[in-house]
Amino acid sequence: MKTAVWPAADLIELSGLRRSYNVGRPNEAEVLHGLDLRMASGEFAALIGPSGSGKSTLLNILGLLERPTAGSYRLLGQETSTLDDQSLTLRRRQALGFVFQFHHLLPAFSALENVTLPALMRDGRVSASARASATAMLTAVGLADALNKRPGELSGGMQQRVAIARALVNEPPLVLADEPTGNLDRASSDEVFRVMRRMHGERGTAFLVVTHDPRLADRCDRVIELVDGKIESDTPRSAAAPPADQPG
């Protein structure tokens, strides 16, 4: 499969983005209140904020799973509000990878088969090249010896590394990770985070990581804080506190 060539533009550009639910009804509620945000290619950023601040809604919009009520969302220079559902699905498959708190692996499939799922969904079959790409990606995340193991035979951290491999196998420019370590113990969390940082460093893939763990947020290059549907702060890593596992 040929790697997509993306235009030179901001990876993400939000302008006046708003999201309301139950529009036109007495219980209408606006969750996101006019967000302005840019994210460049190759960034590794954390999105933090208290429960109910709008993080999940924002991630759903960035992932092209929900549409904003108002404002603009440009992904790789393209305005997404003009895209129909089929075009949104195609753009999502081409430009985005997803990692969730719960890995969502198919239990009856091996690690390799789970990572070939994006190719199966895209092409209706798994070609030899897609299988080779999945094998290479699992090897890259340290699971060369687990290709034929099913999720139930893997630790929680290993399962999440399979999910990371699946998110990266199509070489998207952006991975959206929603609490990717939230279901893991500290040692497994650190290992999964190290894998994401290594994939970012080696491949230049941008990551936006939603996390409640301040240790992990402090190890990102940028920390975006969302409070009550507004961006409260947006801090480059150089201005943030030193990571807990590094000297100050």
pLDDT in the model for residue 238: 56
For the domain made up of 12-239, give the CATH fold: Rossmann fold (3.40.50)
Pairing of strands 78-79, 230-236: unpaired
pLDDT in the model for residue 185: 82
pLDDT in the model for residue 8: 43
pTM of the model: 0.85
pLDDT in the model for residue 241: 45
pLDDT in the model for residue 203: 86
In whole angstroms, what is the distance from residue 71 CA to residue 17 CA? 4
pLDDT in the model for residue 23: 82
- With a cut of 50, list the residues of the chain below it in pLDDT: 1-8, 239-248
- Using CA atoms, how far residue 108 sits from 105, 115, 116, 148, in Å, is 9, 13, 14, 11
Q: Is residue 2 classed as helix, strand or coil in its secondary structure?
A: coil
pLDDT in the model for residue 9: 53
In whole angstroms, what is the distance from residue 103 CA to residue 184 CA? 11
